[in-house]
Amino acid sequence: MSATVQTNEFATRRERLAAAWTQLPDKSEESVEAALRTLWFAAAGAPCSMARADRLLPSLGEAQLRTLDELVERRTQGEPLAYIVGLQSFMGLELETTRAALIPRVETEILAKTALERLSQVPNEADRPAVLDICTGCGNVALALAHHSPTAEVFAADLSQDAVTLARANATRLGLQSRVTFEVGDLYAPFADVAFERRFHVVTCNPPYISSAKVERMPREISGHEPRMAFDGGSFGFDIVTRAFSGAPRFLKPGGWFCFELGAGQGNFLADRVRRSKLYAVVDEIRDSAGTTRVIAAKLGDEGGVTTP
């Protein structure tokens, strides 16, 4: 395929994709151009995440162009790009994505970076840094922490067996299977053994935080494809996160951090709720580039807590 023909083929399909395009706030990094480039690589038999599709496009034959048309049609019908190509980038890692788990979002990198900063504060003379990630989904946060903190020992869990199977596959894909242990269970249930009490320097959680009523009104691209349990946080959206921050002190070392993601607009309420629980000595609000609180980092007192609620 000549460069001119390839340019024309690209422009034709870009126009088709743009005509049906809906920009979602939680996927602001995805543009028509970037999506089409990603689908182009998939049609060429070299699938990659959108973050890695900014290279020179390969030439496509007639059969591959037909495949591209099929992929473009799926995207115009609202199927998420990450599910079509089966890959999503997170903290520089190429992760496998399926309908078994939530697609990793850019804003969740704030959670991973916050946890990494807290891990970096662990004294050199301390035991090997230990992390627990609950509501792990495809394992993105747990695996990012293991990759970027090479001495850390990481445990993770999710209620969904399918999600944990995917997370384990991602660990193997990244060569991290010996350093990250994934278990199936509700929040802390897989770690109820006394051996896990006061073991972790950092506990992380990206919980479901959308109210049940709002889940029904989410864009079809999300509600029609991604697992509901990854979003539905109960009547007001706080059921899971409340259980998560209430349960974390049992597993944190004195001075350890519980870091969790929350929805836009929930920051003031949840930060106040964590403070009023009196379980933590410090409660920090971590904001995105727009100044919106997207992560709360709560530090256990150096004596193992403040007071019981």
Look at residue 304 in the predicted model and tell me its pLDDT: 64
The residue with greater pLDDT, 101 or 26, is 101
What is the secondary structure of 251-283 as a DSSP string? TEEEEEEEEEE--TT-HHHHHHHHHHHT--SEE
* Whole-number Å distance between alpha carbons of 92 and 8: 32
Look at residue 126 in the predicted model and tell me its pLDDT: 60
**Encoded tokens for 232:** 């539905």
pLDDT in tens, 81-138: 999 999 999 999 999 999 999 999 999 999 999 999 999 988 765 668 999 999 999 9
**Encoded tokens for 301:** 């007192």
* Whole-number Å distance between alpha carbons of 84 and 248: 36
Instruction: Kindly give the pairing relationship between strand 87-90 and strand 93-96.
Output: antiparallel
Share of the chain above pLDDT 90, in %: 84
pLDDT in tens, 146-189: 999 999 999 999 999 999 999 999 999 999 999 999 999 999 99
Do 219 and 196 meet the contact criterion of CB atoms below 8 Å apart? no
Mean pLDDT of the chain: 93
User: Which positions ≥6 away from 222 have C-beta within 8 Å?
Assistant: 24, 80, 231
pTM of the model: 0.94
* Whole-number Å distance between alpha carbons of 54 and 118: 33
* Whole-number Å distance between alpha carbons of 96 and 105: 14
Average pLDDT over residues 225-231: 92
Handedness of CA 58, 64, 67, 73 (dihedral sign): positive
Do 266 and 208 meet the contact criterion of CB atoms below 8 Å apart? no
* Whole-number Å distance between alpha carbons of 28 and 183: 32
Do 258 and 298 meet the contact criterion of CB atoms below 8 Å apart? yes
In order of start, what are the domains of the chain with their CATH numbers?
3-85 (no CATH), 100-299 (3.40.50.150)
| pLDDT score of 303 more than 80 | no
